[in-house]
């Protein structure tokens, strides 16, 4: 079975040893330097693992064109002070690393990734979003079962996710779980920005995902997991002493219509593909 056929059948594709372990270490080391220089004063943006309970704010909206830092739900005590070091309190960083940081830009825009995007059916791929996800030891929260197209909706096609394991991802430290073939069931909801400049969900199908069909996607450092935007997937809380760092890119095609009521809107930073690198 070809890689494209496997992707179309399962809704995901696991590519082992896609990037070198040295490249993974470079991203991790660079991110730690970024966090070290990040001033948290006045910033208490928390990424809740249940998106439906998110309290949307300007910091979140602005992150579509910036490099923004989001904390774990349990990072702060009742007085608003960090419970542990800053480096062990961040949930994720997003959403324009691939555009604004040279190290992440070099990692994100390679001929190998461009060729993979073309192989998967994109004719003019655009990189729309990037995230560095930490899954911190002991406090790395659960991410509920969801579809990426809920948050990055396009007409004519489904957003594609490139999920890079910067460390080994196992069941004990919060690897991805997915429902094979679940992308064929259609989109259940959309997360939109409404006229009040807040967010809400448009629900198309309120049935629950069948979590009994989930399978773990345990992968070694350097692996790439490709995700169809309609694929139901999740990750459980990390209660282990080991972190599970990952870097994620989301791609759409330039020929697809990207509605303006998506939460992520580029106002000044243009969307670019691989050819513009």
The predicted structure's pLDDT at residue 178: 98
The predicted structure's pLDDT at residue 44: 56
The predicted structure's pLDDT at residue 132: 98
The answer to whether 122 touches 141, Cβ cutoff 8 Å, is no
The predicted structure's pLDDT at residue 43: 60
Q: How many domains does the chain have?
A: 1
Q: Is residue 270 part of a domain?
A: no
Domain that includes residue 45, residue range = 3-253
Q: Is residue 260 part of a domain?
A: no
Give the CATH number, domain containing residue 11: 2.60.120.620
Q: Is residue 264 part of a domain?
A: no
Q: Is residue 204 part of a domain?
A: yes
Q: What is the pTM of this model?
A: 0.93
Rounded to whole angstroms, how far apart are CA atoms 94 and 110?
20
Q: Is residue 22 part of a domain?
A: yes
The predicted structure's pLDDT at residue 54: 46
CA distances from 94 to 13, 111, 151 (A): 24, 23, 14
Q: Is residue 268 part of a domain?
A: no
Q: Is residue 273 part of a domain?
A: no
Across the chain, which has 277 residues, the per-10-residue mean pLDDT values are 94 98 98 90 53 60 94 80 86 96 97 96 96 94 96 96 98 98 97 91 96 98 98 97 98 96 94 79
Query: What's the chain's length in residues?
Result: 277
The predicted structure's pLDDT at residue 166: 98
Which two tokens mark 218?
A: 């345990």
Rounded to whole angstroms, how far apart are CA atoms 106 and 98?
8
Q: Is residue 271 part of a domain?
A: no
Q: What is the CA radius of gyration of the chain?
A: 18
């Amino acid at each position: 079975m070809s890689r494209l056929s496997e992707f179309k059948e399962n809704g995901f594709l696991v590519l082992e040893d896609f990037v070198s372990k040295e490249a993974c270490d470079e991203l991790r080391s660079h991110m730690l330097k970024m966090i070290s220089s990040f001033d948290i004063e006045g910033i208490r943006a928390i990424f809740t693992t249940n998106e439906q309970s998110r309290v949307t704010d300007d910091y979140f909206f602005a992150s579509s064109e910036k490099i923004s830092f989001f904390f774990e739900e349990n990072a702060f005590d009742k007085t608003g002070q960090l419970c542990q070091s800053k480096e062990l309190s961040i949930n994720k960083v997003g959403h324009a690393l691939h555009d604004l940081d040279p190290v992440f830009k070099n990692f994100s825009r390679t001929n190998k990734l461009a060729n993979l995007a073309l192989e998967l059916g994109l004719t003019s791929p655009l990189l729309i979003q990037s995230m560095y996800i930490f899954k911190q030891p002991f406090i790395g929260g659960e991410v509920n079962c969801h579809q990426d197209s809920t948050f990055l909706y396009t007409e004519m096609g489904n957003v594609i996710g490139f999920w890079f394991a910067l460390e080994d991802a196992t069941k004990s430290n919060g690897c991805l779980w997915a429902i094979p073939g679940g992308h064929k069931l259609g989109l259940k909801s959309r997360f939109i920005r409404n006229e009040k400049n807040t967010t809400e969900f448009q629900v198309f199908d309120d049935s629950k995902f069948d979590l009994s069909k989930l399978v773990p996607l345990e992968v070694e450092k350097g692996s790439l997991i490709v995700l169809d935007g309609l694929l139901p997937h999740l990750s459980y809380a990390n209660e282990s002493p080991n972190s599970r760092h990952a870097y994620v890119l989301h791609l759409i095609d330039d020929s697809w219509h990207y509605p303006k009521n998506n939460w992520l809107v580029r106002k000044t930073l243009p969307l670019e593909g691989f050819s513009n690198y």
